[in-house]
Amino acid sequence: MIRDKEATDERKSWGNFTAVVGYMACSALMLIANKLAVHSINAPGFVLFCQLAGTAIVVAVAGALGFADVDKLEWNKFKRFVIVPLAFLCTIYANIKILQHANVETFITFRVRCRSVSKLPSVPRISRLCIRISRLCIRITI
């Protein structure tokens, strides 16, 4: 029984590892592909349009063939959530414009720094939580 659980945990760990590595490889390759596309075509809006249109076509075909469960577009849902795709579109367009004018290394550096800076407001809460947990652990061990 214990060996079965260990084997299952090992398979889950391996699956998580391969998912993370696959995501990193896909992200890096897409970043390089976008840089090459924007550099050669020099029309970032068109590149973005082609990517989004291609994605919409693949999702529609996958839904039609039964490979994916795709909800129909409903006006009420669209009105409630329109800000989310618009914000997503703005960030993607900003990213592709950055790729047009900067190299990939600079883009990656700023992307990582933006994530780091956006986490700063939560640092005091996290540090207080860590202090509380460490005090609790000390009390338990004494």
pLDDT in tens, 18-38: 888 898 888 888 888 988 999
133 occurs within a structural domain: no
- Is the pLDDT at 130 greater than 90? The verdict is no
Domain residue limits at 22: 2-101
42 occurs within a structural domain: yes
111 occurs within a structural domain: no
130 occurs within a structural domain: no
28 occurs within a structural domain: yes
Q: What is the reported pLDDT for 120?
A: 63
pLDDT in tens, 48-84: 999 999 999 999 999 999 998 988 888 888 888 889 8
| b/e code 23-41 from CB counts within 10 Å (16+ = b) | eeeeeeeebeebbebbeee
More confident residue, 125 or 27: 27
Domain count along the chain: 1
107 occurs within a structural domain: no
Quick one: tokens of 97? 């414009």
70 occurs within a structural domain: yes
15 occurs within a structural domain: yes
Contact 16, 92 (CB under 8 A): no
